[in-house]
């Protein structure tokens, strides 16, 4: 299956090979020290068993590269249903006849061997499906890190040596400092060239009123003041749905914080809590209440993208403030740094957007006020279940990326989404305000 015509290839066969290999090394490293029991067990009703992710990564590659791209019969057609994310919601995945550790590893290897054979023959088409498969594995790595965080395996060691240090900037930031984003039309979404997910297209121009945007994400210390200032008790700060959710589940602080936080500034191995770092593991409901408590609101996703990309001087969207290249972790953006855990806010200056917002890519996913839907003229590609089936429900859009996001998948046009009560994501917020 070939997609809508792209002007040129998105990657070469050699780059596909390198990126696929790199993706797989990371996947295997993430689970290398996890016991069979922890790999195959259910740690949270929100998440799949880790070993399901392994088989699913293999099945996705077999479907898109072995079967659809190379035209080969599916290697394990009988597993298609077990690993179909849409047909099998996460809550029930513990019950599925998924492959156990050794068999899942074997499946990964067999699928990959066929992929490598076709790449060796030199044909990767326009590279779009290969890019899709590489990014799919990257995205599941972040999901697996969420599972690992929820599981809090006390023996777990982050597998990657700290080659990179999180970029730091001097000066305190609370997240409450604002910059102005002037009124004017701007370009939203991904252009015709290169790889982008269907939900980032078509690229279009939109009018945006002037607004104020947080210069950095809200940091833990600021969020703690909200908690201690009755943030979870003041009814007027919460939406009706948010309040019911909070009451029903007795929510009194972000996920992964301990109840007596003042006494215990530690969360778990993956996430030492630092007052200067962005708050994460808050739901959309909490983010919304926090913003209201500060006389602010969440930005729309359009405002978010404008603040991240729009260059007032040239009147053009910049793909990245630093140029066309993807972000380099620790230099441009605090991404892919999971040995360090959540990265310092207000970092790094090299990655500041033209209007002066810092840490928009990386640091932490940021909830927006927007519901997940297609842009005007949306066309599903290459499959409806990537985005379209989630449109028009309760999903809210998140933007940015986190310390667990790989640089290749991080872009200012990238749209993530989840339900407003979810807190397993490494997500916090940035506030906005009308002028």
Closest CA to 293 of 242, 248, 362, 343: 242
**Residue 416, contacted partner among ligand AVJ, Fe ion, none, CB below 5-8 A by kind:** ligand AVJ
- Name the nearest CA neighbour of 339 among 329, 350, 349: 329
Pick 126 or 142: Cβ nearer ligand AVJ: 142
Cα separations (Å) of 6 from 9, 194, 390?
7, 7, 26
The residue (of 31 and 404) whose beta carbon lies closer to ligand AVJ is: 404
9 interacts with, out of ligand AVJ, Fe ion, none, CB within 5 to 8 A per kind: none
Helix (H, G, I), strand (E, B) or coil at 184: strand
Residue 298 · residue 432 · CB < 8 Å: yes
Stretch that binds Fe ion, among 25-33, 84-92, 240-248, 252-260 (CB under 5 A): 84-92
Of 79-138, which residues contact ligand AVJ (CB under 6 A)? 85, 136
In angstroms, what CA-CA distances link 256 with 50, 96, 321? 19, 28, 33
Q: Which residues pair with 417 in a beta bridge?
A: 397
338-357 footprint of ligand AVJ as x/- string (CB under 6 A): --------------------
367 binds, among Fe ion, ligand AVJ, none (CB under 5 to 8 A by kind): none
CB of 140 to Fe ion, least distance (A): 6
Binding flag, residue 143, ligand AVJ (CB under 6 A): yes
141 binds ligand AVJ (CB under 6 A): no
Least separation in angstroms between CB 142 and Fe ion = 11
CA 297 from centre of chain: 22
Q: Is 417 in the site for ligand AVJ (CB under 6 A)?
A: yes
- The Cα–Cα gap between 28 and 31 comes to 6
The answer to whether 291 and 297 are in contact (CB under 8 A) is yes
Q: How many CB atoms lie within 10 A of CB 105?
A: 17
* Residue 288 near residue 242, CB atoms below 8 Å: yes
For residue 137, the minimal CB distance to Fe ion (Å) is 9
Residue number with CB closer to ligand AVJ (39 or 46) = 46
- Distance in Å, CB of 402 to ligand AVJ, minimum: 11
253-282 positions binding ligand AVJ, by CB under 6 A: none
Per-residue binding letters, 25-64, with Fe ion (x by CB under 5 A): ----------------------------------------
Least Å distance between CB 219 and Fe ion? 32
Dist CA 355 CA 182 (whole Å): 9
Q: Could you give the residue ranges of the DSSP H alpha helices within 294-365?
A: 301-309
In terms of C-beta density within 10 A (0-12 exposed, 13-18 middle, 19 or more buried), how is residue 155 classed?
exposed
Among 3, 84, 114, 139, binds ligand AVJ (CB under 6 A): 139
Q: Which stretch binds ligand AVJ (CB under 6 A): 139-147, 237-245, 295-303, 325-333?
A: 139-147
Cα–Cα distance between 74 and 58 in angstroms, integer? 11
Torsion sign, CA atoms 125, 129, 132, 138 = negative
Taking the complex as a whole, the smallest distance from the CB of residue 136 to ligand AVJ amounts, in Å, to 6
284 interacts with ligand AVJ by CB under 6 A: no
The nearest distance, CB 143 to Fe ion, in angstroms, is: 8
Query: Least distance in Å: CB of 141 to ligand AVJ?
Result: 10
Binding site partner of 6, from Fe ion, ligand AVJ, none, Cβ cut-off 5-8 A by kind: none
Q: For residues 84 and 311, which CB has a smaller minimum distance to ligand AVJ in the complex?
A: 84
# chain residues binding ligand AVJ, by CB under 6 A: 8
**Residue 306 Cβ vs ligand AVJ, minimum distance, rounded to whole Å:** 22
Q: Does 416 bind ligand AVJ (CB under 6 A)?
A: yes
Query: Following CA atoms 45, 47, 49, 52 in sequence, which dihedral angle do they give, to the nearest 10 degrees?
Result: 130
Binding mask 121-160 for Fe ion (x = CB under 5 A): ----------------------------------------
Query: Is the Cβ–Cβ distance between 359 and 213 less than 8 Å?
Result: no
Considering beta carbons, is residue 49 or 354 the nearer one to Fe ion? 49
Q: What CA–CA distance (Å, rounded) separates 324 from 231?
A: 41
C-alpha distances in Å from residue 338, one per residue of 20, 30, 94, 160, 240: 20, 10, 27, 8, 36
| Residue 422: HSE in the Cβ half-sphere, 13 Å Cα cutoff | 23
The residue at minimum Cβ distance from ligand AVJ is: 139
Helix (DSSP H) and strand (DSSP E) numbers for the chain: 9, 11
Hey, which residues between 229 and 258 contact ligand AVJ (CB under 6 A)? none
With contact defined as beta carbons under 8 Å apart, do 164 and 330 qualify?
Answer: yes
Contacting positions for ligand AVJ (CB under 6 A): 85, 136, 139-140, 143, 386, 416-417
Question: Which residues sit at the interface with Fe ion, rule CB under 5 A?
Answer: 85
């Amino acid at each position: 299956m070939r997609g809508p015509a792209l002007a040129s290839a998105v990657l070469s066969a050699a780059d596909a090979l390198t990126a696929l290999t790199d993706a797989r090394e990371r996947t295997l490293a993430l689970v290398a020290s996890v016991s069979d029991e922890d790999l195959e067990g259910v740690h949270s009703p929100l998440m799949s068993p880790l070993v399901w992710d392994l088989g699913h990564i293999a099945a996705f590659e077999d479907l898109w590269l072995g079967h659809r791209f190379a035209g080969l019969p599916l290697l394990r057609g009988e597993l298609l249903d077990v690993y179909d994310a849409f047909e099998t919601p996460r809550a029930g995945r513990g019950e599925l006849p998924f492959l156990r550790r050794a068999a899942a590893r074997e499946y990964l290897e067999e699928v990959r061997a066929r992929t490598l054979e076709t790449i060796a023959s030199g044909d990767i088409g326009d590279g779009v499906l290969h890019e899709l498969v590489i990014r799919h594995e990257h995205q599941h790595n972040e999901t697996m890190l969420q599972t690992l965080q929820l599981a809090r395996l006390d023996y777990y060691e982050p597998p990657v040596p700290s080659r990179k240090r999180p970029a730091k900037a001097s000066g305190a930031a609370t997240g409450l400092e604002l910059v102005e984003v002037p009124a004017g039309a701007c370009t939203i979404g991904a252009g015709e060239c290169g790889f982008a997910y269907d939900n980032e297209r078509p690229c279009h121009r939109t009018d945006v009123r002037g607004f104020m945007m947080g210069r950095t994400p809200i940091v833990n210390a600021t969020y703690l003041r909200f908690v201690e200032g009755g943030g979870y008790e003041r009814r007027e700060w919460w939406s009706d749905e948010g309040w019911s959710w909070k009451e029903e589940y007795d929510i009194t602080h972000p996920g992964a914080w301990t109840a007596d936080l003042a006494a215990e500034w530690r969360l778990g191995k993956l996430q030492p809590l630092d007052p200067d770092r962005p708050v994460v593991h808050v739901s959309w409901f909490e983010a919304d209440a926090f913003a209201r408590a500060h006389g602010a609101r969440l930005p729309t996703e359009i405002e978010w993208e404008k603040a991240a990309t729009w260059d007032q001087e040239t009147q053009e969207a910049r793909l990245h403030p630093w140029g066309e290249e993807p972000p380099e972790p620790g230099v441009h953006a605090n991404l892919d740094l999971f040995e360090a855990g959540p990265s310092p806010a207000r970092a790094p200056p090299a990655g500041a957007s033209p209007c002066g917002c810092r840490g928009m890519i990386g640091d932490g996913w940021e909830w927006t006020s927007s519901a997940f839907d297609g842009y005007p003229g949306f066309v599903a590609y290459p499959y409806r279940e990537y985005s379209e089936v989630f449109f028009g429900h309760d999903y809210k859009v998140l933007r940015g990326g986190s310390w667990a996001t790989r640089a290749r998948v991080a872009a200012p046009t990238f749209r993530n989404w989840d339900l407003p009560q979810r807190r397993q994501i490494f997500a916090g917020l940035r506030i906005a305000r009308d002028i």
